[in-house]
Structure 1
Amino acid sequence: MIYKVYFQNDQKRNPKREDTHSLYVEADTEVEARAQVEAHTEHNIEFIEAIEGNSLAYEQQNPNYKVTEFGE
């Protein structure tokens, strides 16, 4: 399943909507998606949502759509 992870680049500042970024991760569960991002980045995760079906098709139309793969 593909998860869209909303995050802030900095864990030390309060989140601001204007600074929210997102990335896409393939994982079996939301917990696994969170673990991947936390293990490989310093991002402050705000929210994680599963995307599938029409939502996934819509996201894939964005030229910036790319599933992030973390090296082990």
Structure 2
Amino acid sequence: MVFKVLYQENIQEAPVREETKTMYVEANSKREVREKLADRPYNIEHVQELSEAHLAYEQQSDDFKVENL
């Protein structure tokens, strides 16, 4: 499964919507995504499992890249 992760790069700062970044991660569950990212200083806002249709839509973006963790 592929998950879309919305996050802020600096956990020490207050979240600002305009600075939210997106990452795509392959994992078996939301919990596994969070475990894979635990060593990074990210403020994870939301982890969303992508359906096949949503994944196909996201893949059309030039910025789409599944992170290899």
Which TM-score bucket, shorter chain as reference? over 0.9
**1:5 matched to 2:20:** no
Partner of 2:54: 55
Q: Which stretches in structure 2 are left out of the alignment for 5+ residues?
A: none
Q: How far off is 1:37 after superposition?
A: 1.2
- The runs of 4+ residues in structure 1 deviating greater than 2 Å are none
CA distance in 2 between partners of 1:44 and 1:35 (Å): 13
CA distance in 1 between partners of 2:14 and 2:47 (Å): 18
Identical-residue share of aligned pairs (%) = 36
Q: How far off is 1:52 after superposition?
A: 1.9
Partner of 1:45: 44
Partner of 1:18: 18
Q: Please give the TM-score of this superposition, normalised by the length of structure 1.
A: 0.91
Q: Which stretches in structure 1 are left out of the alignment for 5+ residues?
A: none
Partner of 1:65: 64
Bigger proportion of residues as helix: 1
Q: How far off is 1:59 after superposition?
A: 0.2
The size of the alignment, in residue pairs, is: 69
